[in-house]
Structure 1
Amino acid sequence: GTERHESRRIDNQLRGRAGRQGDPGSSSFFLSLDDDLMRIFGSERLAGIMDRLGLQEGEVIAHPLVSRSIGNAQKRVEGRNFDIRKHLKEYDDVMNLQRTEIYALRQRVLKGENVKDEVLDQLAAYLEDTIYKYTADGKYPETWDLNGLYDELQTRCGTTYRIPESELSSKTQDALFDDVWKDVKQHYQDKEVRFGEDAMRRFERGVSLMVIDNLWKDHLYEMDHLKGGVQFRAFGQKNPLYEYQREGLRMFEELRSSIAREITGLVFRLEAVEEQKAPIAPPSSEIHSDFDIFTSGAAPQQAPGPQPRRQLITNRDSGGKPQPVHVGKRVGRNDPCPCGSGKKYKKCCGAT
């Protein structure tokens, strides 16, 4: 071999390929202190030893100490490469868990299994997040942002649910969720009956795939940005891997909430529109009299009433035999006008 590789596996492959038949033999590698492996690990130390021993340049050195030094350098390189791969895998595990969940959801939608159940689960998740968002300031109903909650529910779900004044003081978050869920689910069932179950399932499948794909692509882009910038948190005495895991989990929770919110809004925004066909105009039966543009100065008046359709072909005699068409000489634009005015044709009759 002309050099030693940084991985012992590659050197062993070279030895194996040189003697595939099982014959006894030996292997020799010719190295230089300028090789990458020797330059990175131990070349300066070996060069100093050679200078002290008085070895000349180009002299062959064969000693077990050199082989052991090279083997130790290979072990250090392999350990460094293993740590790099392990570090990258720890980052990839974060995305792999998210990818597994999103792809499983998308695969269920593609197979058409329990599309309605998936949509109802997304609807329930959206209602839970929304109710907690507007009622999380305090446990007392008087501190809830009910106007914001009503506007959100009416915009996304089309429901006009309101808490009765007599029940407001005793209402809890769980009871509020049950009431809103009952009202929204009834609205969903009415829409399903109005559009038909098959049409509703097709629409839900298409909406789910569109929302998941678009939001997942945006999430991947944001995760790439996070991975590129989280390394700088090491300057603040923070572990970049832990920060990446924590921020990635938070962003994934936001992704799931966004998926539920968008699917809910599109499903309840569906409305049936009756297709209106454009009226077909009846064929015109108006008859125009003969009109000569060169002899008449005004357009002819329309007939006051329907008249029989005139014969379009006028170059026939009474017997029905067509008459020959006489074609005269073509007049050029700069030729004298045939009318005898003395002007060019383009300035006289040809101008019209």
Structure 2
Amino acid sequence: MPVSSQHKVYLPAEARDNQYLLAEFALTDELLAAFPASNPAKPFEQLYQQLSQQFFELADAAQLHNVHLIANGKTPVVRFHQEAYVLQTTEQILFFYNPSYHEAQHSFYDASIRARKISLLFLATDQPLRANAATFHQKVTTVLQQLLANLKMTETKVKVRDHQHLTYDLFAKAKGQKESYGYKLRSIGARYKARQCELPEHNALTYVIVNLPLSRRLKEQVALNLQSDAPYLPLYQKVSDSFVSACQPEQFKHLAVLANGLLPLVRNSQFDKSSHGTELQMIGFDPSAQAGQLISDLQGDKLVEMMQLVIFATPADQTDMGYGRFMNQVEAALHRFAKSLALQPERDDLTVRFHQHISYHL
């Protein structure tokens, strides 16, 4: 294989692309004092409304057309969808949208409750997203700086997270999607620098999350003892063992296998501690751990619809050209894994989501 081909991965042309930035800052007493309450029953309504109005006006001026203010403590989750939906659960706000044509401005808060922090969510809309990612990032940081100046909060620490991911079915070709597109998958920092967008010192994460639906045929591969306290553990363990074995030839050592019904949020354990709630699970990897890490959470007493498998990229997985070689290795491991479970490409789905994520303080 030519060297250039080794560093380029060919993904289905119908792979779904998303980018969003999340900016968060604390709701301080000083900020609260700038917006005195006019309604004792809703003491924070003035604050949230005025913040939203200023935020939306600045976003409009910067031609950012899908932005949201969140002041209810919930975690935003962004996914591609042909129809626009915003769904709220106890811990999440799920935004489904198509970047090509969905625009929106919304505020989410309870006017009677003081939020711990204000979150500003920016959803990318300028296609192609990856080519325009640096420009989008610059527009967002400009809006944030203008908003902080208007609020006289120039000394306030704002945490900025830039999330980008590509989502596709590993078996797309077997289902008739023959067209593909080649990606080098350069790091966000390298792509932005090439477009004259210099980032401050930042933390970068790259990883893959794979969604494996537990079909009837897959369940039938393992004899389950429904009288056991953990009747589904043999099924989960078989999947886990097959996944870890499939990753060994590629020397992937930072892995997670999850069968608990929670949505995984991947972080760097050097900065964030692992935790989980009733819907979300934060899992932390240490990129410098030479021996690797296997994070396993298999709730054998609970039958889940889907297992999640995580492959975390370390500095050794990045080349000067990007993560193309890494993703070729990921696909090789996943095809090996699929074969070991006798998955049927024409019928089964194995959804792969390639994540790139940076974070820093503005």
TM-score of the superposed pair, with normalisation by structure 2: 0.21
User: Is the radius of gyration larger for structure 1 or structure 2?
Assistant: 1
Higher strand fraction: Structure 1 or Structure 2?
A: 2
Specify which structure has the bigger relative contact order, considering alpha-carbon pairs within 8 angstroms and separated by 6 or more residues: 2
Query: When the two structures are superposed, what TM-score results if normalisation uses the length of structure 1?
Result: 0.21
